[in-house]
Amino acid sequence: MRTTKSNLQVLHEDNHLIIVNKRAGDIVQGDKTGDLPLSEIVKEYIADKYDKPGKVFLGVVHRLDRPTSGVVVFARTSKALERMNKKLRDRDMDKIYWAVVQGHPAPEKRTLEHHLKKNPKNNKSTAFRESGEGTKKGILHYKTLLKFDLYSLLEVTLETGRHHQIRSQLSACGHPIKGDLKYGSRRSNKDGSIHLHARRIAFEHPVKKTPLEVVAPLPPDPLWDICQERLSDD
């Protein structure tokens, strides 16, 4: 299911920010596919809800890969956009991702450090152990939340924000994300998604200066449902 203005999942909304739960398959900003991006759908939602004639301002604070789901933040004012961009640059924002990966990573809690190089021809990043021409350092931390027969659920936090960083680094250590054919998954998911979800984001509101934390519900999916049930039981 793709997002429309009528089924948009709004997680937080005020005069300065709107935070939504992106579905896998949505694109955040316009690209060469010509598909309607989430940013335009959010603009339509705002224009309808608040009866705003003319052009609606909406700033894209950050993006998620097309097959990824979860929290996406947009700014409704230029002031909020400028301050949120600074938070991103200063890494003054806590983001947690959940990833279902093949196998059982060992150790169960670990820091991964690679040097990533993007290939624009195939839109893919390769993770290397050593630095080289055109590489950028990528650092992430993961811990195992659940183990299944064939898969594990990991909680991932990023120190850097590189192209396809989580997908590339987890694949490089032998545990590609479920459904992610580009990075070595055994098979695709039927809906074209991958099991990577931007679960939580927390930061100080750029204008109100109050703490803001938003958690994105998991997509409707049998494996995600089992993860939710298992964690709720714990």
**What tokens were used for 96?**
């947690």
Cross-strand pairs, 71: 21
Give catalytic status of residue 65 as yes or no. yes
d(C-alpha 19, C-alpha 11), whole Å: 5
Q: Is the dihedral of CA 135, 110, 179, 228 positive or negative?
A: negative
Cα gap 158→136, rounded to integer Å:
14
**Radius of gyration in angstroms for the set of CA atoms belonging to the chain, rounded to a whole number:** 18
- Exactly one of 26, 65, 180, 221 is catalytic; which is it? 65
Give CA–CA dist 118/126, Å, rounded.
6
Question: How far is Cα 130 from Cα 172, in angstroms, rounded to an integer?
Answer: 13
Residues 46/52, Cβ–Cβ less than 8 Å:
yes
Residues with catalytic annotation?
65
